[in-house]
Structure formats: structure tokens, C-alpha cells
Amino acid sequence: MPAPLAFDGVLYFPITPFDAAGEVDLGLLGTHLESRLEHRPGGVFPACGTGELHAMSPSEAARVVQRTVEVVDGAVPVIGGAGGGVATAKELAVAAEEAGADAILLMPPYLVSGPAAGLQAYVEDVLSATSLPAIVYHRNNARYTTATMRHLARNPQVVGFKDGVGDVAAAQDIVLAVHEEGRDDFAFFNGLLTAELTQAAYRGIGIPLYSSAVFAMLPELATLFYRAYTEHDEPLRERLLREFYRPLVALRDETPGFAVSLIKAGVRLGGLPVGSVRSPFVDPTPEQTDRLEALLATGADLVAEHATLAAGR
């Protein structure tokens, strides 16, 4: 059985930098990773949703995962993205294993969907190509039933479940079913967009981990929120939600794809020229970028204020 994945800290989903010619920039990726590792993430998930896996070739994604493994150098788990058509997903899984990743995050098969038995077969077919453990991503056209997750929990190679649907009752049922299969090593993640906004509810149903795209552009604030969350500092957690995360969600919801585009724009605003998003995503308009910049300044002020208060105690 694979060793349990241990995540202690914010789960970091890096963006994928592109150069002026639109090619993957591994040098900038290394800089992006190194600057965030200083903030001690609990795990790194390259070439996943925030990293635009949908827009990269398998060879590009493989290079991104390999570079991430080199930079992280065993400090925390590295979970590479895999998904799309079953042949592509298998190719990505094999490449992640060859790159030295610790596991894969198995995303949905794009464009097509099938019954529960077909989704189960998809997972098992991809895993037949690799010895890596996998976290399955419950979202869009990959919606796992309780019965399917109960079955998959009997496979020691399936080590986690990430919920991106938002049906709390269904997620609770899956948590209970996996535990009933004796899997106390299973990792459960909240994978909703800007998950900080819903994480208090998810913790209540036994899903303690969450994705943080914000960590990619403002790690100090994402870390402060994580500390408030884990230490049950409800006044601080709610203030961060009110003054930063809720306005960010309002901006995010203005344009499809902004769950990724805003993060990449935020990294650019931080001084790293990581390029634009690939189509069909679009970059924020100048006016939206100005609002994002103001919001990031608010976030930085919140971090500075909390540091000043903590120093005075």
C-alpha cells in the first residue's frame, strides 16, 4: 500500500508561466516555486487547474512537473495533474511518475461523460499505467457516487477525494462511506473555487484540507488565513473573508475562467512576468486589473496589521 500523503500547511497550486512566445518558461516557474516555498506550503500541485493543465500538451505538463520536483527537492509532497481522455491521462500519469511526483490529482475526462461504472473504469484504467497513488477530483462531468467511492476506496492506490461540486450532503455521505471501508489514511479536500470561503463548512463534515489558489499570488495572506482556520481564530478568519476573499470572489465571478486568470494576473502584479493565460481564458481588463491590485494591497495591509498586533502582544 502507498504511504499516506502527509499535508501540513496550505496546499499550493502554482501557475504555469509562459514566455513572450507563449512557451512554458521553466526558469520563471522555478522562481515562482522558490518564492512560495519560503512560506512553507503543505504540498505543491503543479500542472493542475490553476496551472492550466487543460491548455498544455502532455510533454509541456511533464516538464512542469519535473521542474517542480527538482525545485521542491522532497520538502513537501508534489502532486502532478492528470486528466482528459483516458490515453492522455495515462500519459500524464506515467510522466508524473517518471518525473518523481509523489501522486497524481486525477481530473475529469474533458468533453465526454459516462455512467458511474464508466467513471470507475476511467480511474482504474489510468491507475493501471502507474504505481503512483491518486486523488480523484469530483467536479463537472466526473461526479463520483457514494457507491463508486466506496468501491475505489478498496483500491489502496486511491488515496484521496477532492470535492469541486459543492453538494455538502453528498460529500458527507462519501466521507462516511470511505471511513466505513476502513480507510483512515484517506485525504479529503475542498476543491471549490476560492475554497477559503466554504472551508469552515467542509471542516464540519470531515474534509479538513483545501486548495488555495490565493497562495500563488499572495502567500502571506493565504498563510495567515490558514493559521486563523487551524487555530480557530474566528474573528480573524471572518475579517479576512469579509475584506479580501469575498470581494475576490465577486471579481472572479465577473468573467468565466477568472479563477485562474486573476491568480496569474496577481502574480504578474507581484513583479513576476509570467505571461498571459492561454485561450479560451482571457486576462482581466485594465479596469479589473486595477481592482485586483487594490484588493491585493488590502490583503497586504491585513497581513502587516496582524504582524504589528502580534509583535505588540
Sheet containing strand 103-106, strands side by side: 43-44, 11-12, 209-212, 187-190, 158-163, 134-138, 103-106, 79-82
Cβ contact 229:239 at 8 Å = no
Question: In 3-state terms, what secondary structure has residue 109?
Answer: coil
Q: Which cell numbers in the block locate residue 257? A: 475562467
CA 155, CA 223: separation in Å to the nearest integer?
33
Which run of H or E residues covers position 310? helix 286-311
CA 267, CA 230: separation in Å to the nearest integer?
26
Closest alpha carbon to 212 in 45, 47, 8, 17: 45
CA 278, CA 91: separation in Å to the nearest integer?
22
List % helix, strand, coil for the chain (3-state, nearest 5).
50, 10, 40
Catalytic residues: 137, 162
CA 249, CA 80: separation in Å to the nearest integer?
26
